[in-house]
């Protein structure tokens, strides 16, 4: 179908260079697992997220809801998705680059690329007997030389 449409698409079950592929994309269409949504947000790309309907505790739905609620993308339930709907959504977004740009900014603002560093700093702070109320997570996101 892609060849017939003249579309340049590569489809696979796994990409080892996913962060680079996300960075190169104008629009990401994906499931909404925690790692995927985190990478989309950290890189700052707009996305159409289709939560896996049978994910444990509906975590994919909640991940997609969080990013779409922040304005960083759009969620479509799998039960509501077909080729026509996806084509209409993509077409509408390609015709509105301002919406894509705004969603990219919102996704980036929702991302927490240094969250692991801040969490590690909090654990260290607490292990050294620090008061959790005195911990400043925002300062942990900076690089001190």
Alpha-carbon dihedral sign for residues 16, 42, 145, 118: negative
* Sequence-distant (≥ 6) Cβ neighbours of residue 107 within 8 angstroms: 40, 41, 43, 44, 45, 46, 47, 67, 70, 71, 72, 73
pLDDT at 142: 47
User: What residue ranges do the domains of the chain occupy?
Assistant: 2-110, 114-145
- pLDDT band of residue 31 (cuts 50, 70, 90) is very high
- 119 or 65, greater pLDDT: 65
Cβ neighbours around 121 below 10 Å, total: 18
Three-state DSSP state, 113: coil
DSSP 144: P
Least confident among 8-22, 52-66, 98-112? 8-22
Q: At what angle do helices 59-69 and 34-43 cross, to 10 degrees?
A: 20
Tokens 């896996």: give the residue. Answer: 52
Helix (H) or strand (E) holding 28: strand 28-30
The CA dihedral of 65, 27, 76, 78, to the nearest 10 degrees, is: -120
> 3.30.360.10, 3.40.1180.10, 1.10.260.40, 3.40.50.2000: which CATH number matches 2-110?
3.40.50.2000
d(CA 134, CA 113): 22
pLDDT at 9: 78
pLDDT at 140: 62
The model's pTM: 0.77
Digit-coded pLDDT (tens) for 37-67 = 999 999 999 999 999 999 888 999 999 999 9
Residue 130 clears pLDDT 80, i.e. is over it: yes
Closest by alpha carbon to 99, among 65, 124, 78, 74?
Answer: 74
pLDDT at 144: 43
Task: Record the tokens describing residue 66, joined without a space.
Answer: 């969080």
């Amino acid at each position: 179908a892609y060849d017939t449409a003249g579309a340049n698409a590569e489809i696979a079950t796994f990409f080892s260079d996913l962060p680079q592929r996300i960075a190169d994309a104008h629009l990401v269409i994906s499931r909404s697992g925690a790692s995927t949504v985190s990478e989309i947000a950290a890189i700052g790309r707009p996305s159409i997220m289709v939560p896996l309907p049978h994910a444990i505790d509906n975590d994919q739905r909640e991940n997609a809801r969080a990013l779409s609620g922040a304005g960083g993308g759009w969620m479509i339930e799998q039960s509501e998705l077909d080729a026509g709907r996806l084509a209409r959504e993509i077409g509408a977004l390609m015709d509105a680059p301002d919406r894509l740009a705004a969603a990219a900014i919102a996704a980036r603002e929702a991302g927490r690329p240094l969250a692991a560093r801040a969490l590690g700093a909090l654990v260290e702070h607490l292990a050294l007997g620090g008061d959790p109320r005195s911990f400043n997570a925002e300062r942990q996101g900076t690089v001190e030389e």
